[in-house]
Amino acid sequence: MTTLNYTVRFQKTVLASLIGLCISQPSFALEELSDAGLSETTGEGIAILPQNTYMVFRGAGTNETTNQILTDRTKDTGYINYVPVGPLSMTSADTNKNGSVDSGDRAVGKADIYLYGLALSKSDNNTNTRIASTDAAAAISSWGTAVNPWIFKVATENSVPNFSANNCTGATDPTCQLTYLALEAPLYEIGTKDTAGIDAYKLKLGLWSDIFVRNPNKINGAADQFNYGDSNGLIGTSTDATRANRLRLQGIWNNFSLNGSRLQVFQTLGGATTSGGMSPFYNNTLGIAGVIRLNSGDSKDVKAITTSSLTEGSTTSPWTLIHAGANSTLSTSTTGDCNNGGTGSFGTSAGCRYYVEKRTRTDSKTATKTWDASGLSNAGVLRLSTRETSDSGNLITPAINGGVAPTFDANEGVYLYNPNINLVLGTLYQPLILGSDGKNFSLEIARIANKPEIYKQIYTDYSGADTSYKGSTCNVYQCGNQLTLGGKNYQGYNATHSSITIGTAFSEDGGKTLRASTDEGAVGISFGKLNSGTVSRTTSSNQMTEVHYKQRGVNTQTWVQSYSCTLFICGAGTTGYLYQWEYNNGSTPWAILAPTTKPADATCSTTIGCSSTSGTTPMYGSIANRVWANSSAVWLTAANNEVNNLIGANNGMTGTTFPTLNQAPTPVINSSPINNLGSAVIDGVLIQHLKLTTKGL
Amino acid sequence: MKKISTLILALYATVTHAELQTLDNDALQAINGQAGADLSLMLNLNQTANGVFDNGSGGVCENVEFCHIGLAINKRFVQADPSKPSGWAENSDSGNKLWLVFKGVQGTLNIQKMGLDGADLKYLDKNNTEMIKPAIQLSFSAAQPILIRNFGFNALSIEQDNFTSSTTAQGSSANMYDYAYFKKPTYAATANSANQQVATATPSAYDHGRETGFMGLMMNGNLAIQGKVMVFSCDGSHPRC
């Protein structure tokens, strides 16, 4: 029974407006309208323009002030309850698939869904509020404009191809005339948006929900109705009061628009038979065609800003001694078998002739990148989160137990940045229809008829070569044929293909197709909020070694050391040898350190007084001659195999000098946060034929 | 109801008057400076005064079949066919007509205040000339929310007539329970069906006694709406129409 309570105070303006709405077409007398007259009437309807508006579904209770409504979220407990009805089907109850419901099956139950606190307002760019905190910030100043409002209208379209094998004969062919009832959102404006309607592109949706698994053995309202375990057993027998059979979820969607959406309801045309994959069920039944557009806007520049820098470094060790030139084998000792500290004979092997040092250098490069996400704060974000900041009972919900709405963690959850969702579900010639076998129901998007008149309206020639193919993709850049209202351009709604982009995406061909950005700053899906950050990475070169050495050689001087003198005859003389070190000082001849002067030649005379000998042989340089440190030897770097052999490969090689350029490899780093899964694009989706059928109702 | 009926009649009367003068946009704009109306409207459907389904003894829904809404909007029938698992084959032209039946339809809706005013809107029409359009302005205040109490339905079900119809002929029966929308089966407690009860392979205490179907929907709360809605006729001169 219906009870109406009302208090009405009509004033003249209101009455005048009402009458105006009823008879806005001038008419002096009512006349019969012929079919011809009706067919000339096109597209008249009711325009609807919400202004300065927002909405929050609050818990049942007393009236509140707007300030309470906007700032006190705990009372967002008005709900829509999806009530499960009907027992479980065999398919879902028989979890071990043995053909019967028995003690071997796992616990399953139906879902009981509560959607709370549905709030629609203007976006405040905050991903954890359900509405802005002041009237001015929360209100959608104008959802559309006077020239581009919501429209509820009836219109007739001619020359709509029907399902039969025959083409339409023209605009007057009644089998191709289709009248539809349409609810249209404001159109999506191209380019700079009209300021009067800008808020329509900045909507905010907020809600939260509790979703329970119901124990079928408990009656509705029982205190333990959600106590359900997960053990095997007959349905509903596994009870567990502590198991969290509840999903608590928050959904916040900032900066989206519905503009360009349209829903058409009509009676489908006829002509389908069972041939050609078609079905008589398509004929003259309730048809629905929808363009659902949920756009956050062009996302090609919705990305983090990355700045990078590179610093180079180099560490060179001091020269270190590896061979002191005092021993025939490699040694840093200043004593050895070269007899550098003695006066007698000395060794002349390579070990005694070289004094060797080495040094090492290691280069590094440090790359630093900053990923600045501050520009994303105004981006559209669809966020789903579950974590509360304070725990509540696992099995309670305000609709049943009373209490307040929860407080959710500010940064947790799945973030879908800048989603642009454009779904084309059915058209006038490929309708969405409903069916049923008496219990279960089906949703079907009719098969595209194998008839050029229809499929050329739907298929796309992406090359553009064949313009008889009219199909195109609905996306944030375009959606069919452009329209002009009041001198401004708007996207249409007659595209045929769907697309979904999440995050940074762009088009390379003026909107025909879409690409997901692979830019480092690209955003898209992320777990947890995307925050700014700086990362750096340092790479090092291999250790490089440089060797230099001092060199000395044996300087040999000779003199006539003795003659044999016998009977005044000078016999053949003996040669005396003086061995001492000469050091490579970079000039020729090398310098002899603390040289010992060789003795004068022995003299031989046939007269008495023959000296016959001068000095002894061999002679060796003094101790002072043997001291590397006092020599004027210069450091040498030229390749020298003797040195190489002496020091071994581990100590480097002569002949190499350190390169001028930094030898570290350039570090490759990605500054994008690890929780950023990047952008995604699903483009050009065309449904050829889709049928969804329920089971077990 | 009397006042509303009078109002509606009055409107009809004025519309049908043959000497009615055109009330064009200019005439409407000439009327100004008067406050509008504030309406309050309370709808209580199939519920007691405290918002509970009125199916008790003597209640309007004591016989739940009278609290159904049936819709048959899409030419769907079934014909008996033993070869099908359900025993019924779908048919698009004739057979037992299928109905979408909302069961246990109920709710209390209290619009505490809705302002009704007139306002002018300006836009460029199809010829790009400025148009001043009078519009109905409905306004709502969040401080006086729309009270919604248990608004919805208990079960949504697909039911079929017990007699045949076709796209051209509507069948009939002398027994009201042959009509799909009067059927009121409930779920049985056990796998055995009793009178008017539906047997189920997976008996459920939760569903026992409920009217059959597959889902219900129920709204409860204070819908706080702030703002105004302009409603105006979108005539042929408007670029969108």
Please write the tens of the pLDDT for every residue from A265-290: 999 999 999 988 899 999 999 999 99
What pLDDT score does B78 carry? 94
What is the rounded distance in angstroms from the CA atom of residue A577 to the CA atom of residue A556?
Answer: 7
Query: d(Cα A524, Cα A506) in Å, to the nearest integer?
Result: 13
Closest CA of chain A from B14, distance in Å:
9
The sign of the CA dihedral A22, A27, A28, A30 is negative
Give the residue on B whose Cα is nearest the Cα of A92: B202
- The mean per-residue pLDDT over the stretch B72-83 comes to 92
The mean pLDDT value for A24-37 works out to: 43
The least confident of A56-60, A91-95, A324-328, A489-493 is A91-95
**pLDDT range class, residue A252, cuts 50, 70, 90:** very high
Chain A residue with minimum CA distance to B14: A19
Q: Which residue has the tokens 């992320």?
A: A526
Of B155, B203, B234, the CB nearest to A45: B234
Asked if B232 and A65 come within 8 Å (Cβ–Cβ), the reply is no
Q: What is the pLDDT of residue A608?
A: 60
Choose the mutation target among A13, A70, A153, A219 for the interface with B, i.e. most B CBs under 10 Å.
A13
Whole-number Å distance between alpha carbons of A461 and A459: 7
User: Is B78–A42 a contact, with Cβ atoms under 8 angstroms apart?
Assistant: no
User: Cβ distance A265 to A286 under 8 Å?
Assistant: yes
**Looking at CA atoms only, how far is residue B172 from chain A in angstroms?**
19
For residue B116, list chain A residues with Cβ-Cβ distance below 8 A.
10, 14
Nearest to A5 among B42, B92, B222 (CB): B42
Q: Taking all residues of chain B, what is their mean pLDDT, rounded to a whole number?
A: 85
B15 in contact with chain A, both atoms CB, cutoff 8 A: yes
Report whether A213 contacts A228 (CB < 8 A). Answer: yes
A106 touches chain B (CB under 8 A): no
Q: Residue A193: which residues within 8 A CB-CB, separation 6 or more?
A: A201
Q: Residue B145 pLDDT > 70, yes or no? A: yes
Name the band, by pLDDT with cuts 50, 70 and 90, for residue B4.
very low
Interface membership of A98 toward B (CB under 8 Å): no
Amino acid A42: pLDDT: 53
CB B51 within 8 A of CB B150: yes
Give pLDDT, residue A391: 75
Residue A225 contacts B where some CB pair is shorter than 8 Å: yes
pLDDT of residue B202: 79
**Which among B98, B204, B230 has the least Cβ separation from residue A87?**
B204
Q: How far is CA A456 from CA A370, A452, A690, in A?
A: 50, 5, 19
Contact B38 A7 (CB under 8 A): yes
**Across residues A519-547, what is the average pLDDT?**
93
Give residue A685's pLDDT band: very low, low, confident or very high (50, 70, 90).
very high
What is the predicted pLDDT for the residue at B23?
63
pLDDT band, residue B189 (cuts 50/70/90): confident
In angstroms, what separates the C-alpha of A306 from chain B's closest C-alpha?
Answer: 42
Task: Tell me the shortest Cα–Cα distance from B9 to chain A, in angstroms.
Answer: 13
Question: Is the model more confident about A34 or about A337?
Answer: A337
pLDDT of A190 strictly over 60: yes
pLDDT of residue A697: 79
C-alpha–C-alpha distance, residues A105 and A101, integer Å: 7
Residue A231 has a pLDDT of: 85
B19, B23, B202: which to substitute to probe chain A, counting the most A Cβ within 10 Å? B202
Whole-number pLDDT of residue A237: 86
A97-101, A549-553, B24-28: the lowest-pLDDT one: B24-28
User: Which position has the token pair 């030649």?
Assistant: A601
Q: How far is B171 from chain A (nearest CA, A)?
A: 17
Query: Could A57 and B1 be called an inter-chain contact, meaning their C-beta atoms sit closer than 8 Å?
Result: no
- For A258, the token pair is 């519905």
Residues within 8 A of B (CB atoms), A 448-477 only: none
Q: What is the pLDDT of residue A17?
A: 46
For chain A, the average pLDDT equals 89
Convert the pLDDT of each residue in A57-106 to its tens digit: 999 999 999 999 999 999 999 999 999 998 888 888 888 899 888 888 88
| Segment holding B227, helix H or strand E | strand B215-234
Q: Is the pLDDT of residue B1 over 70?
A: no
CB A58 within 8 A of CB B238: no
Is residue A221 within 8 angstroms of chain B, CB to CB? no
Chain A residue with the nearest C-alpha to that of B151: A80
pLDDT at res. B49: 86
State residue A5's pLDDT score.
45
The two beta strands, A381-385 and A246-256, are antiparallel
Which residue on chain B is closest to A67 by alpha carbon?
B143
Give B209→chain A minimum CA distance, Å: 10
Q: Are B156 and B103 in contact (CB under 8 A)?
A: yes
To the nearest whole Å, the CA of B174 is away from the closest chain A CA by 22
Q: Interface pTM (ipTM) of the complex? A: 0.87
Rounded-to-integer distance, Cα A296 and Cα A273, Å: 42
Question: Do B202 and A216 make contact, defined as CB atoms within 8 angstroms?
Answer: yes
Q: Do B45 and A2 touch (CB under 8 A)?
A: yes
The pTM score is 0.82
Query: Which of the pair, A236 or A412, is modelled with greater confidence?
Result: A412
**Average pLDDT of the residues in A636-644:** 94
Indicate the domain borders of chain A. Answer: 151-184+260-299+418-522+681-697, 312-366+543-651
> What is the structure's pLDDT at A565?
67
Distance CA B100, CA B213 (A): 10
What does the pLDDT average to over B206-225? 93
Residue of chain B with shortest Cα separation from A226: B206
What is the b/e burial string over A571-598, where b = at least 16 CB atoms within 10 angstroms of the residue's CB? Answer: eebbebebbbbbbbbeeeebbbbebbeb
Q: Name chain B contacts of A5, Cβ cutoff 8 Å.
A: 40-42
What are the chain B neighbours of A52 within 8 Å (beta carbons)? 226-228
Query: How much of chain B exceeds pLDDT 70, in percent?
Result: 83
Give the number of other CB atoms < 10 A from CB of residue A466: 10
Q: Rounded CA gap, A554 and A578, in Å?
A: 10
